Structure 1
Amino acid sequence: MATAKFKETSPYVKPKPSPPEEDYLYNKYLEDIALKTDSRNDPILKLALFGVGRAGTIHLMSIISNARVELLYIVDDVESNWQNMRKYWHLKNVTFLNGEQSDKVFKDPNVDAIVVASPTYTHEDIVIKALKAKKAVFCEKPIAENRSDTVKCYEMAEKIGKPLFCAFNRRFDPSYSEVRDRVRRGEVGHVHMIKTVSRDSPLPTIEYLKLSGGIFHDCLVHDIDMITWVLGEYPDKISALVDANIPEIKAIGDFDTVAVTLHFPSGTIGMIDLSRNSTYGYDQRLEVFGPRGVVQAENEQPNSVRRQYDLQGSVTAPIWYSFASRFMNGYRREFDHFVDVVHGKAKSLVRSKEILAVSKIATACEESARTGKIMDLNWAKGELPDVQ
């Protein structure tokens, strides 16, 4: 045999290979099978969840699947769902309350932390009451409906000494965080261009959009945060072009199609391609280009099956349908990080100055879109976070 000379010694006598760092699921499995943890002596974190809608259901799934926490309360005004929710999720020891009964949560000394996933306009009130009651807070964005109120919430959290964590789950997505790590290691050199594509699927209901806070603060903030988080830099100039191609969205004074260009002091250019309606799935991409090369996070698919029949060509699975599936890993890793933050084992990877800076940029984008002007962004001393 011509290849016999290439025979090697038995793999059993060779050093055992290590799994690649990228296989985070297998590495977590190795920790679990070895019972390797530094959290075995941590007390169980006791929680209350406000809101079990679009985002709240995702957080409920994270809570139930996490052995480090216990859910004590659910606060939700759709009382007709309570019985089915209790049965479906096996929540026999969970107390259900409506919003008017929620003071019971704040007064209960057994509650360590509160997860806020209720409608946007309720966030600030819940956050303030939770902090006054000395509870840690995990809050869906935005924390409040304007910058000054958001600042007050963070100032209160700092004064009381409890974490106020704003949920930017894409930072915890394995693909997006891998792009950031490679960019920060200098693999593409100085970034010349960074782009995001975020096209929503399915089209949100008009009822949701009316209460969402608008496309800039509901959707665009994720892309702004991703770009500034990857770069560790904030823009000095932005412009936005928008339109409402869907009549119902135009009727509520919002937009469904947004293009944003950002200029950074170092010379980097950023571009955001945003849509409310992608009929082929949840299109989420990130690309960073520089003189040494390009790093990309492409769309992901539920499976890797490829099929081909007759002369129809090769067909694969569609991309993930929506945010709940595409960013499921990110949501769970984000929540586990929050538990570490509450226990003092980690510093929050989402800092207050970052949230405030993203909100300021989103507001400038909206002003640019509505006035047609290129907006200059001026940053006061100490306004921006230190680079991490």
Structure 2
Amino acid sequence: MTSERRKAGLAIFGLGRAGRIHLANILSLRKAHLRYIVEENLQHGQAVAREYMVNDDVKVISSKDADQVFNDSNVDGIVICTPTDLHENLVRRGLKSDKAVFCEKPIAGTKENVAACYADAEKYGQPLLCAFNRRFDPSISLMRQRLAEGAIGELQCIKTCSRDAPFPPKEYLRISGGIFHDCGVHDIDAICWTIGEYPVSVFTQAHAFHKEIADLNDVDQVIIVMKFPSGCIASIDLSRHAVYGYDQRMEIFGSNGMLEQQNKVPTSVVCHGVLGACKNPIEASFPQRYREAYELELEHFVNVILGIEKEILVKKEETLQVCRLASACEESYRTGKQIFMSSFENSANP
């Protein structure tokens, strides 16, 4: 096998907010060879390719010509960053074409369709990665490791705070799937993955402070409480907009101490003067805060394609559990009731 063939041939679908991040990471990853950029707006795709100085051998094509990707044996995997309503079809076409699939969440719109995508992955023997990127964040990974090592004794409470910045564009809010499935899923997954269990019940309070979000029948401030079989209680604080930056924190409390992940700042410089001390604001938004996580999750995907790593770290049942929990949290807000997962999972709810 030549050194060139040892690279994973990739195609990327969609060049929106997440697509640009993944495009840059593909181009910088020596184990990957970008072969296609697929973008609904061909002119936009060509402009972004020029901006990122993509090599001339990379084909920039429109969505209607996507068959080129699925029929090309030199493409080992596809990276899906399109609007969410297009995810399922691309996932299933990719798997059926014997391509590994990396997909931004959600993989599909319902738990049944998510399960069908994973069934295809098993049928065609290809890896399917739902991109819960916080699992690859070094700080969260270290907190999980220290908790497992018993650093803080018996686990009693875990809290996350996730406040977005800047305020999302209206165009994005319309297709986001709502705050529970767009934002809440990340905190739900991070908490459950970190502590190694799933809650028995959830309860949510929420409100829409922004009219444009209320008009979408969505909310922008959410508090979720989850109770786990071990007795641990979790709380999630979500907001669509923090004026001071992208606020991302986690705290884990136990019988012998506490683990804390604080906000990142661009530099550690603090200026002291007669009026006090000042330092840099926290990271501006998600591309800056989770830069390493985005890089590491893509490298993990490529490593699985190349056989360097044996299996995808985000499993089918984990993705389905997070999907169910996000739906249960939204149902709790809509009904004003505590939701017990044993009965919710046996109901007709998605």
TM-score range, shorter chain: over 0.9
Is there any run of 5+ residues in structure 2 with no aligned partner, and where?
346-350
Is 1:244 the counterpart of 2:208 in the alignment?
yes
User: Quick check: 1:305 aligned with 2:269?
Assistant: yes
Unpaired stretches in structure 1, ≥5 consecutive residues: 1-38, 382-388
Q: Would the alpha carbon gap of residues 182 and 355 (structure 1) be closer, same or farther in structure 2, given more than 3 Å must change?
A: same
Q: What SS does the aligned partner of 2:206 have? A: strand
- Select which of 14, 19, 31 maps to 1:51: 14
The equivalent residue for 1:139 is: 103
> What is the percentage of aligned positions where both structures have the same residue?
46
Alignment of 1:83 onto 2:78 = no
Q: Which residue of 2 aligns with 1:283?
A: 247
> Shift of residue 109 of structure 1?
1.3
> Is 1:330 matched with 2:293?
yes
Deviations 1:17-67 (Å, cap 9, x if unpaired)? Answer: xxxxxxxxxxxxxxxxxxxxxx97971100100001100000001101100
Establish whether residue 214 from structure 1 lines up as the match of residue 178 from structure 2.
yes
Distance, in Å, in 2 between the alignment partners of 1:107 and 1:369 is: 45
The equivalences for 1:1-388 within 5 A come to 43-91=6-54, 92-309=56-273, 311-346=274-309, 347-378=311-342
Output the amino acid matched with 1:250.
Answer: A
Per-residue deviation, residues 287-321 of structure 1 (Å, max 9, x unmatched): 10010100011101000111134x32100001000
| Whole-angstrom CA distance in 2 between matches of 1:76 and 1:82 | 5
CA contact (8 A) 1:114 1:137 kept: yes
Query: Is this contact kept in 2: 1:289–1:295, CA < 8 A?
Result: yes
CA distance change for structure 1 residues 55 and 287 in 2, over 3 Å: closer, same or farther? same
Contact residue 170 and residue 327 of structure 1 kept, 8 A: yes
Report the number of matched residues. Answer: 342
Instruction: Determine which structure has more spread, i.e. the larger CA radius of gyration.
Output: 1
Cα contact 1:284–1:299 (8 A) shared by 2:
yes
Q: CA deviation at 1:85?
A: 2.0
Q: Residue type of the partner of 2:50?
A: K
Q: CA deviation at 1:379?
A: 8.3
**What letter is aligned with 1:329?**
E
Q: In the aligned structure 2, how far is the partner of 1:138 from the partner of 1:318?
A: 33
Q: Is the 8 A contact 2:245 2:282 kept in 1?
A: yes
* 1:70 CA drift (Å): 0.7
Contact 1:308–1:315 (8 Å) recurs in 2? yes
* C-alpha RMSD of matched pairs (Å): 1.6
Counterpart of 1:192 in 2: which secondary structure?
strand
User: Does the CA contact (< 8 Å) of 1:195 and 1:271 recur in 2?
Assistant: yes
Q: TM-score, normalised by structure 2?
A: 0.95
Partner SS for 2:342: coil
CA distance in 1, matches of 2:126, 2:171: 34
- Give the drift of 1:88: 1.8
Q: Taking structure 1 as the reference length, what is the TM-score of the superposition?
A: 0.86
Contact 1:42 1:343 in 2 (8 A): no
Q: Secondary structure at the match of 1:144?
A: coil
CA offsets 1:172-206 (integer angstroms, 9 cap, x no match): 11111111100111111221000000000011011
Contact 1:263 1:270 (C-alpha < 8 Å) held by counterparts? yes
Distance in 1, matches of 2:139 and 2:4, equals: 32
How far residue 343 of structure 1 moved from its aligned partner, in angstroms, is 2.0
Q: Which residue of 2 aligns with 1:21?
A: none
- Aligned to 1:77, what secondary structure does the other structure show? coil
